[in-house]
């Protein structure tokens, strides 16, 4: 018996996506070729691009397929930063995904970038007023602003539209990391980017302001791992990371992966009406949250309050701290009981790190080590939640005995 409650890490591929993937893999033809078979491949690719574009409300030409969410984020951050030279400042909230944090730090160490880390409140939310403050004290040297649409650990939604408006006023381009929000909350790129926005039109050597770029990943919505997309506004100018055959608006060279794009599109078209679909997810999650707080009264729910349709929280996300327990111990004990959950993010050696998101939210090092993330997906059932709640008390009792004693010398 194995119960999967780590859908934010990756969620099972949809049967329809697998079928589309396999079928497309047997089709020969490079979409860049001129002959009929190349044209057939190109048709499949562009249909896929249209489907993905529809799922986030953008034009197909604005969808740049990448090797995944991380590549999309790297392209957005580095590409916009380079295009905006000699501007140096990058405004970023604390608690972003490592794809953003590490890219910004790389630009700082190698390319003279000056990160301006924006604070998070106790719920993990960025206050738009702080963005206005940061831009008010000198927007002319700001290259770009990047933020998560929804935090991948604690599930807090950010006021991206509001922040986008503030940036647009100052002519600052904004990248939205929508990898964890995709499929969980509606995304309307056209509305976010203020298509047809007039006035703030970049100027010499700069991009237009406001939301111009948005990163997606296929495997978070039931598509395959290894493909994502950067939605890149027609208004944006960007320097490519990868040079070669000039595919995809010269922004991302390389033979395009038709089969992966087709499978991505199959998952995107299955999203359907996102809010309606997530009613079930939200109900399950609320049952999980109530259950956890009932069986472990000391547990603390992190992130925004789950308070109905207007809540500022991902519908599939529950995130707790369990004071006095290592999140790692809980993960291990639940795994032994056949239940897969997460502590948040793990580094490449498999060492659970204290949650940098909780640290950015003002929590202590100990609290940041005591975190557990439980995330639901479209296949999750009430029985999954019940099995988790049944296993939790014993795991919690044992993890409490183990305590945090590998951290602090005891003798």
Partner 1 sequence: MSGGVDSAVAAARAVEAGHEVVGVHLALSRMPGTLRTGSRGCCTIEDSMDAQRAANIIGIPYYVWDFSERFKLDVVDDFIAEYAAGRTPNPCMRCNERIKFAALLDKAIDLGFDAVCTGHYASIQTDAAGNRELHRASAWAKDQSYVLGVLTAEQLEHSMFPLGETPSKAEVRAEAAERGFSVATKPDSYDICFIPDGDTRGWLAERVPASAGDILDREGNTLGRHEGAAAFTVGQRKGLQIGTPAADGKPRFVLEVRPITNTVVVGPKEALAIGLIAGSKFTWTGLAPEHPGIAFDCDVQIRAHADPVPAVAQVVSVPVPAGADSAGAGATDAGAIELVITPREPLTGVAPGQTAVLYVGTRVLGQCTIDRTVSAVPVPSAAVEPAPVAVPAARA
Residues catalogued as catalytic: 347
Smaller CB distance to partner 1: residue 201 or 405?
Answer: 405
Site mask, partner 1, residues 35-64, x = CB under 8 A?
Answer: ------------------------------
Smaller CB distance to partner 1: residue 114 or 353?
Answer: 353
Site mask, partner 1, residues 330-369, x = CB under 8 A?
Answer: --xx-xx-----------xxxxx-----------------
Smaller CB distance to partner 1: residue 86 or 350?
Answer: 350
Work out how close the CB of 352 gets to partner 1 at its nearest, in angstroms, rounded to a whole number.
7
Of residues 257, 310, 285, 251, the one with CA closest to residue 377: 285
**Cross-strand bridge partners of residue 229:** 65, 216
Smaller CB distance to partner 1: residue 164 or 344?
Answer: 344
The tokens for 233 are 């506004």
Of residues 105, 112, 104, 110, the one with CA closest to residue 147: 104
Interface with partner 1, residue 165, by CB under 8 A: no
What H or E segment, with its residue span, contains residue 89?
Answer: strand 89-93
Smaller CB distance to partner 1: residue 121 or 406?
Answer: 406
Work out how close the CB of 353 gets to partner 1 at its nearest, in angstroms, rounded to a whole number.
9
Q: Is the dihedral of CA 249, 251, 252, 253 positive or negative?
A: positive
Q: Annotate 380-394 with DSSP letters as a single string.
A: --HHHHHHHHHHHHH
Work out how close the CB of 191 gets to partner 1 at its nearest, in angstroms, rounded to a whole number.
43
Work out how close the CB of 328 gets to partner 1 at its nearest, in angstroms, rounded to a whole number.
7
Q: Which of 86, 272, 297, 409 binds partner 1 (CB under 8 A)?
A: 409
* Beta carbons of 74 and 241 less than 8 angstroms apart: yes
Q: Is the dihedral of CA 374, 379, 385, 388 positive or negative?
A: negative
* Beta carbons of 173 and 146 less than 8 angstroms apart: no
Smaller CB distance to partner 1: residue 110 or 411?
Answer: 411
Helix (H, G, I), strand (E, B) or coil at 197: coil
Of residues 147, 348, 367, the one with CA closest to residue 356: 367
Contact positions with partner 1 (CB under 8 A) in 376-405? 398-399, 401-403, 405
Work out how close the CB of 409 gets to partner 1 at its nearest, in angstroms, rounded to a whole number.
6
Q: Annotate 150-162 with DSSP letters as a single string.
A: B-TTT-BBP-HHH
Work out how close the CB of 340 gets to partner 1 at its nearest, in angstroms, rounded to a whole number.
12
Count of residues of this chain found to bind partner 1 when the rule CB under 8 A is applied: 22
Distance in angstroms between the alpha carbons of the first and the last residue of the chain: 40
Contact positions with partner 1 (CB under 8 A) in 317-336? 328-329, 332-333, 335-336
**Cross-strand bridge partners of residue 320:** 301, 372
C-beta atoms surrounding 326 within 10 Å: 25
Q: Annotate 326-350 with DSSP letters as a single string.
A: -HHHHHHHHHHTTEE-B-S-B-TTS
Strands 210-217 and 228-232, sheet pairing: antiparallel
Smaller CB distance to partner 1: residue 218 or 334?
Answer: 334
Work out how close the CB of 179 gets to partner 1 at its nearest, in angstroms, rounded to a whole number.
25
User: Interface residues with partner 1 (CB under 8 A)?
Assistant: 328-329, 332-333, 335-336, 348-352, 398-399, 401-403, 405-407, 409-411
């Amino acid at each position: 018996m194995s119960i999967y409650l780590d859908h934010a890490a990756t969620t099972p591929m949809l049967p329809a996506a697998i079928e589309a993937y396999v079928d497309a893999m047997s089709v020969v033809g490079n979409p860049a070729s001129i002959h009929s078979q190349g044209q057939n491949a190109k048709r499949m690719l562009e249909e896929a691009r249209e489907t993905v574009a529809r799922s986030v409300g953008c034009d197909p030409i604005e969808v740049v397929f990448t090797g995944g969410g991380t590549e999309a984020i790297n392209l957005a951050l580095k590409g916009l930063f380079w295009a905006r030279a000699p501007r140096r400042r990058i405004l970023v909230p604390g608690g972003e995904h490592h794809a953003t944090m590490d890219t910004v730090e790389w630009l700082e160490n190698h390319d003279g970038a000056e990160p301006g880390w924006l604070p998070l409140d106790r719920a993990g939310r960025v206050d738009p007023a702080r963005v206005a403050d940061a831009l008010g004290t000198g927007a002319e040297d700001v290259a770009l602003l990047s933020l998560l649409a929804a935090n991948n650990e604690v599930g807090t939604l950010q006021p991206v539209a509001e922040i986008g408006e503030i940036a647009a006023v100052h002519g600052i381009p904004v990248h939205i990391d929508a990898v964890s929000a995709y499929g969980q909350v509606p995304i309307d790129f056209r509305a976010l980017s203020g298509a047809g926005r007039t006035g703030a039109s970049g100027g010499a050597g700069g991009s237009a302001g406001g939301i111009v770029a948005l990163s997606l990943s296929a495997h978070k919505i039931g598509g395959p791992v290894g493909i994502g997309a950067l939605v890149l506004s027609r208004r944006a100018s960007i320097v490519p990371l990868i040079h070669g055959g000039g595919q995809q608006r010269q922004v991302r060279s390389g033979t395009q992966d038709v089969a992966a794009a087709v499978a991505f599109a199959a998952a995107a078209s299955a999203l359907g009406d996102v809010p309606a679909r997530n009613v079930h997810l939200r109900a399950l999650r609320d049952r999980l949250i109530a259950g956890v707080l009932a069986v472990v009264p000391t547990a603390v729910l992190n992130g925004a309050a789950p308070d109905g349709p207007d809540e500022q929280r991902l519908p599939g996300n529950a995130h707790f701290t369990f004071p006095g327990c290592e999140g790692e111990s809980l993960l291990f004990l639940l795994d032994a009981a056949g239940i897969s959950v997460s502590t948040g993010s793990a580094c490449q050696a498999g060492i659970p790190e204290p949650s940098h998101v909780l640290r950015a939210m003002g929590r202590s090092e100990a609290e940041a080590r005591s975190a557990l993330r439980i995330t639901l997906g479209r296949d999750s059932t009430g029985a999954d939640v019940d099995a988790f709640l049944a296993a939790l008390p014993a795991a919690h009792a044992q993890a409490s005995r183990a305590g945090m004693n590998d951290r602090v010398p005891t003798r």
